[in-house]
Each structure stands twice: as structure tokens, then as C-alpha cells.
Copies of this chain bind each other. A is one copy, B any other.
């Protein structure tokens, strides 16, 4: 072996500069030209696999990195769905802040392992500051425990595990769920709760059968009376309620549970109060936020997703636990860490990970670029756009407006001659709107997803997108109607053909 290795994975500084500059330029061009791209190309798996040459084996011999990066960039630019496109309004995936993109570059270059403070001194402190700032935005205590995680699922699961440990009443970490031979831990949440709760109940050994799915009121908020009755009934039969999950912005319609009432009930019943604010939690920063939403500040734990409404690129979730000791107690196997006699956080004691990357940086940068006022404005604008869409839709005779809450608006296409409700009409309208949505998505003109409300298949626009403007929203109803009329002309069954 020679004194100095030759290393096939290395790049010399000149190469790094050249390839890096070129990539930055291509990204700048892409972001600038997004409105001219389709949101997605709507290709099939075989199309994509062919473009990738998916069946190729791992090459024995290396490839020139410049060529490789260019090829990767081509593949991704030509065959991706752009959630940073001004007309992407599907699911809850936000446009990525440019400073977050550059933040990820810096984070990757500095390659800090934020599992341990001494391996990542500045990065760990930046993460701690980011957590405090997020708490500040939410009105949550800034001396809470918290950390950045991969997303909403993991943020919620981390909080859920803190609740399990705090409320089980036996040493559940050591003894497992078997530790109590008699009692069954019970979870309470509304029927509108995101699927993370199933994964949490399942993964943590409690089991999805032990989720009490509480019905919702007409505005799709958890029914507090039913919740109270269920908790009391379960206690009477010797079961062990331990957590109530309030949702701050449901995935489907943006419904916000009455967090104030849930908080009160949890205090009365001595249960852990967790808020899933993955989507809507950040709206609590708005000056006109409702008291029901602001009450997330009273929770024992809150999950939020900076990669949603703080516009961070994927991935960035954040778990906050009011009492930092409760978070430590759920994960740590070490006493608190002191360095030079001063306490510092080893994040491996606060969550499931050991080695950890530096997700906080992009969030920390974006928070400072926009400032609190900047975020207030952007969130308010997203909400205003959703409201405007709801109004526009309500004005169109062939569109039926359903819900608007936070930045989610739901509606559907109803041909003018099908306004009279019947089971067969409803069935057809579901079929019509399902096909309409598929065609809209594949068209690349705009991207919506769907929500099923009272059995009705609706189109759903969720605007967590700082690139969407009024012009984009204005254009949507006509696009939907054009495709809807096409679909209707093709699909309408004879028996419903009462047009004339």
C-alpha cells in the first residue's frame, strides 16, 4: 500500500467546483422554469424503468462523476413529479425553499453526526435553537424537549412513545406490553386521524385494536362528548386509557379538533394530550388563529412537520415534548450528558436514532430568511388562496364546493343536469370525479388529490406552496371543468342521460 491512497470515490477540488457549479445552475434553471413544465409526466412504471435501465447490474468499473451527475440530473428532471411546481396541490407536500436546498448541501458537506454533542457541537446547538424557535412559533414552552426527525410519522411516534412510558405505570421499556398482565393500554383519536396512529399502535406493541376511533361532528372534528363517555366506560371495565390525540389540521379537510376541550378532558382524566400538528400546527402562529387551535400550546406533546408548512425540503419533522425529562425517559440509556461540566444534549438519548444527520440546518436557515412575519404572511396567503378557490368554485354552476379549512378546499364536478340527488346519481358522480382526478393528475396541468366526505368523492386542493399565486388558483376551475365535461361525455350511463 502506498503512502497516499488513490481513491475512486474522491473528487479533486477543481472537479467538485465544476460539477457543483453546473448542478447549481441546472437547479436554478429548473426552479425558474417550473411553470413551463408539466407538474408530472404521468409515465408508467415500464416507461420509467426503461429510461433508468432498471435491470442493469451494478457496474464493476467506475464512471466519470461529471457525466454521472449530469445523467442523474437528466433522469430526475425529465421523469419526476414536481411538488415545487406552482400548481402542485396534492396530499400535503410543500414546495421546497431554495435556502433549504442549499442548507441540505451544506449539511451534507459538513456531515455532522448529531447523535452526540461532541461529534457535532455547533450542529447540535443549531438543532436545539431550531427546536426552541419552533416551540416559540407554536406558543409552546421553549424549554420543552424536542428534536428533528424524518417526518410526521416519526415525530408523532416519538411523542407517542414518550406518552407510553409516562403513562403506562409500569416499566414498559424493560418489561414490554406484557408487563401488565391485566390492563390494556387504550388510544383515543378521531376517525379523521392520519394513518400514523395505526403504525404507532402497531409498531409500539399496543396494537391497532386498541385505538378507539371517536366519531366526528359535522365539521369533522372529534366529538368530545363521545370521547369522554368512551374514556369513562373503558376505565370502568378496567382498561387503561393513556393518550388522547387531537388533530390540528386533518389530512382530508384540514379540520381542527377542539384542542382546548381535549386539553381540559385530559387534565380531568389524567391522560397524555398529544397534538398531531404535522399539517396545521404551524397555523397556530397566525394572529387570527382560533382558540381551539392555539390550545395546542397546552399539549403534553406536539408533532409538526417543517417539511410541510415551513417549506423545508424533505425530510424534516419535529417532535416537541413539554417535559424534556419525559422525552429522555422514553429513549435514553444514559444519564444526562455533561461536557466540560456543562449539560449538553446527545440527541441519541431523545429518539430512536443513534447516528443522525443534520436536518435542522435547512429549517433554521429558512426561519431566519423569512422571519416570523414572513412565515405569517406566507401561511396566511396559502390559506387565502384556498379560501378564494372555495369562493371561485361556489360561483361555478357545474362545481360543488364542499369544505374549506386552513389551506385545504374540497369540491367536485356536478354536471348541471345532475343536481337532483339520488343513489345512482351519487354513484355516478363518484365515478366521474374519480376519473376526472386521474386525468387531471396525468395531464400535468395541475395536481390535486381527493377526500371522501360523507361517501362523496371530492377533489381536494391543499395549498402549502409559496409558489402558487392567485393566477394559478384562478385557472383551476376551468381546467377541472374542461376535463370533467370530457369525462362526463364519455362515461355518463344512458339511464342518467337526462340532458336533452
Q: Does A384 contact B (CB under 8 A)?
A: yes
Q: Are A313 and B466 in contact (CB under 8 A)?
A: no
Contact: B157 with A356, CB < 8 Å?
A: no
Query: When the two chains form their complex, are residues B23 and A28 in contact, meaning their CB atoms are under 8 A apart?
Result: no
Q: Which residues of B contact A44 (CB under 8 A)?
A: 339-340, 342
Copies in the complex: 2
A31 touches B (CB below 8 Å): yes
Which residues from chain B contact A4 at a C-beta distance below 8 Å? 469-471
User: Quick one: given A372-B60, A377-B8, are A315 and B23 in contact (CB under 8 Å)?
Assistant: no
A176–B354 CB distance below 8 A: no
| Complex partner residue of A354 from B80, B153, B331, CB under 8 angstroms | B153
Per-position binary interface string of chain A over residues 64-106, scored 1 when its CB falls under 8 Å from any chain B CB and 0 otherwise: 0100110011011111111110000011110111111111111
Please pick, from B62, B69, B468, the residue contacting A374 in the complex, using a CB distance under 8 A: B62
A20 in contact with B27 given A104-B104, A122-B51, A201-B176 (CB within 8 Å): yes
**Set B1, B76, B205: member contacting A176, Cβ < 8 A:** B205
A125 within 8 A of B: yes
Contact residues in B for A365 (Cβ distance below 8 Å): 65, 68-69, 72
Q: Which residues of B contact A152 (CB under 8 A)?
A: 354-355
B388 engages A76 (CB within 8 Å): no
Q: A91: which of B28, B119, B123, B210 is its contact (CB, 8 Å)?
A: B119
Asked if A121 CB lies within 8 Å of chain B CBs, one says yes
With contact pairs A8-B370, A93-B119, A117-B45 given, residues A136 and B58 touching in the complex (Cβ less than 8 Å) = yes
Taken together as a complex, chains A and B put the C-alpha atoms of A11 and B365 apart, in Å, by: 13
When the two chains form their complex, are residues A45 and B98 in contact, meaning their CB atoms are under 8 A apart?
no
Q: Which of A192-200, A229-237, A294-302 contacts B (4 or more CB under 8 A)?
A: A192-200
Closest-CB distance, A343 to chain B (whole angstroms): 8
| Contact A8:B369 (CB < 8 A) given known A69-B99, A99-B69, A353-B151 | yes
A58 partner, pick from B126, B137, B356, beta carbons under 8 A: B137
**Distance in Å from the Cβ of A319 to the closest Cβ of chain B?**
14
Report chain B residues within 8 Å CB of A72.
103, 106, 361, 364-365
Q: Is the CB of B175 within 8 A of A9?
A: no
Are the C-beta atoms of A81 and B119 separated by less than 8 Å?
Answer: yes
Bound complex: CA of A81 vs CA of B61, how far in Å? 33
Chain B residues with Cβ below 8 Å from A203 are 161, 203-204, 352
Set B14, B19, B49, B311: member contacting A9, Cβ < 8 A = B311
Report the nearest B residue to A314, measured CB to CB: B357
The reply on A7 being an interface residue by CB < 8 A is yes
Residue interface mask A30-62, B partner, CB < 8 A = 1:
111000000011011110110110101111111
Which residues of chain B are within 8 angstroms of A384 by Cβ–Cβ distance? Answer: 1
Query: At the interface with chain B, which of A177-185, A220-228, A408-416, A425-433?
Result: A177-185
Interface residue? A480 (CB, 8 A): no
* Residues on B with beta carbons closer than 8 Å to the beta carbon of A150: 150, 353, 356-357
Question: Cβ of B104 and Cβ of A108 under 8 Å apart?
Answer: yes
Residue of chain B at shortest CB distance from A6: B377
Report how far A473 CA is from B37 CA in the complex, Å. Answer: 52
A174 interfacial by beta-carbon distance below 8 Å:
yes
CB-nearest residue of chain B to A116: B91
Residues of B with C-beta under 8 A to A16: 24, 27-28, 31, 98, 102
Partner pick for A179 among B84, B121, B126, B207, CB 8 A cutoff: B207
**Is the CB–CB distance between A106 and B48 below 8 Å?**
no
Cα–Cα distance between A368 and B70 once the two chains are bound (Å): 13
Residue of A5, A120, A357 with highest tally of chain B CB at under 10 A: A5
Minimum Cβ distance to chain B for residue A279 (Å): 11
Interface: A10 (CB within 8 A): yes
Tell me, yes or no, whether A209 is within 8 Å of chain B by CB: yes
State A77–B107 Cα separation when bound (angstroms).
11
Shortest A457–chain B CB gap in Å is: 18
Pairwise interchain contact A83-B331, C-beta atoms closer than 8 A: no
Contact B3 A471, beta carbon cutoff 8 Å: yes
A381 surroundings in chain B (CB, below 8 A): 1, 5
Given A111-B83, A471-B4, A177 and B198 contact (CB-CB distance below 8 Å): no
Give the complex CA separation of A209 and B24 in angstroms. Answer: 52
| CB <8 Å contact, A204 and B207 | no
Interface residue from B62, B97, B352, B357 paired with A369 (Cβ < 8 Å):
B62
Could you say which residues of chain B place their CB within 8 Å of the CB of A218? none
12 further contact pairs, Cβ within 8 A, besides A63-B369, A151-B355, A152-B355: A8-B377, A16-B24, A48-B125, A62-B371, A65-B98, A69-B103, A72-B106, A84-B111, A93-B113, A104-B105, A179-B207, A203-B204
